[in-house]
Structure 1
């Protein structure tokens, strides 16, 4: 797509596996240079399905998809069964440049190391991928996508299994990649606060294949999130001055704990 700020676009897209139950219908969505889009929805609503459509791994039942060959896909987990080194895993992201049955060149190793450095994992190149923590493996998978010199980055729940600190590390990395590298990024999440932290735009996947898409501040409201998740949600302004942030809190049903009684 050259200098066009739109790096990936779907128009009027609909998806159903059986022609009866639809994950989404008549969806219009574009991913732009330097922008982050968060995709939110409950389990089974079709977030991962939509990501597969965006990645070109699944053809939609209807509509048009303008794919981008310079696209990196980051799954939730590394699925290899062989004890690969971290560097070997990242070099897999260079497959488009290396070619079938070819040996990685010096430039491929250099690009892989640059990607590891960008994700803060440069010192882990010779480590076994299986020996890393969940947060470290997630950073390696992001490095694998970056090594391919891609313009679009798609991530399937990149922070779902991480503790709070590692969630912040991954989200901050996505912000850096959008702001400094100009990548067009989309990621799925269950956490509204991930979206308000880094996303420019948000797509909510509602029931009955309905969607809401727009600027984060417009889409992320108590009413919309209650409609999305089916339970009361409240927003709160935290901090002060330039550090003021909006946080969304679900109001879970509370147990009457014995220790709280007088």
Structure 2
């Protein structure tokens, strides 16, 4: 399928024959910007684990709390890779509520996200919001574009929410995070969430991974040790590596339906010294 970007004469080629994580996440959150192939795999996953939509909302709630906390530490620049389809409040809305002058760059590789970039780009007059369509592996292109909006000589919060479990070790997951961390100035933060098999029975985690792989998607649910490895050289902030629902819950509101539900994700925020 081809969709035209409203702001250009360029046609965006959207692959509707294969599910995409951004569109599936949209479906889990109750959005309508997805296709039958995304819904089909989503329904298979929810049929096996009905709590997945609640888990998705718990993950997003962590992002809101983490961004609010980092902005409260004085950080005014954010780079969000693996943005997904806009679902309010978006990261820039959370950051600019704390600091109207916050500057945010979004990045995703699905053209449908670019088609909705208008919703992402409406920020405060004092701040700035930009978007780049690029694959997470292409860190050079992401950073080059982001430098048009962000000053990498000053602290930047790098947000990698529910992204890295779609990139295997053999595809350079750790290397791409290292390249991004190297570009950050002292005082910057890494915000990350990641699916893990540690909170659920091994058989259930294997079944979820198998369903994703049958849909043509990589799914690597890393355990705690492998998750912590992404933060090498950084200083974790309290409470360290925890489940999504346990990271500063006082900074947000409980997600409806989260009672007695485990998010299934490790999360952490860490500072570059």
TM-score bracket for this pair, using the shorter chain length: 0.3 to 0.5
Q: Which has the larger radius of gyration?
A: 1
TM-score, normalised on structure 1?
A: 0.35
Larger relative contact order (C-alpha < 8 A, sep ≥ 6)?
Answer: 1
The structure whose residues are more often strand, as a share, is 1
